[in-house]
Chain A
């Protein structure tokens, strides 16, 4: 929440500071924020996928190990 408020204040400050007629880089803050969020979402999702995969593989390894250690009942 604090991060959101800080970003909003920073973006609004950007609007007030830039002169529409003279600044070619007007709204650069917004552009940066948008691209940052896009990459955050894409990379964050890929990172979560990698963690999920790692967790599942670890679980499989543990179960395989348990299966090998457990004597089979006939």
Chain B
């Protein structure tokens, strides 16, 4: 039996990442970049504690605001994509700390842009990289990713 991925949870995650990163830039609230980085990092290491996905599964779905869209699929590519996003945002946080705001905002825009593309155009660059790495025999995943979509 294959693992399942709820695309509504993924889309909620992507939408909130885009929203918070845009807000962080518009309002010049750099801590929000750190907040999104932390959410993505936690969601990568402990997928069941991903804050935005928990918001979906505990509030938005039970309230009937968003319907589940579950597919039989391996969650690893999506979690790998999130891991890349978290690394980029941690880089952005480091750049802010090193007084390099242009680099920091560029990294944040890259993450927001890719989440936007994934959300609206159904193209996941991180998943694409994951599959390409698989072609050369690499499978960059954490043990806890199995069955945690």
Asked if A and B are interacting partners, one says: no
B-side residues, CB < 8 A to A, are: none
